[in-house]
Amino acid sequence: MPVFDLADRLRKSLRVSGMAVTEMADYLGITRETAGRYMNGHVRVPTATLRVWAMATNVPFEWLKDGVVPAELAAETQGAEPNRRTLD
């Protein structure tokens, strides 16, 4: 089973949301380069930035921060159809 680090989850959340890196950078008020550094794991992402990133991409903050799916979402996805798009 693959393990996804924060950088992986940042990239996945953008892909699932359909946002471009430049859109996220503008939304956060940071440069595209800083967003890229976050997504490459080169710079620590402030918690407040993670919260906004999660809201903008519509993914759970807990999943984005720690890779943990909240219990209520885990229960919902147990019966998911095989073709349903998931975060991982």
As a three-state string, the secondary structure of the chain is CCCCCHHHHHHHHHHHHCCCHHHHHHHHCCCHHHHHHHHHCCCCCCHHHHHHHHHHHCCCHHHHHHCCCCHHHHHHHCCCCCCCCCCC
Q: pTM score > 0.75 for this model?
A: yes
- Residue 47 pLDDT exceeds 70: yes
Write down all domains in the chain, each with its CATH number in brackets: 6-77 (1.10.260.40)
Across the range 53-77, mean pLDDT stands at 84
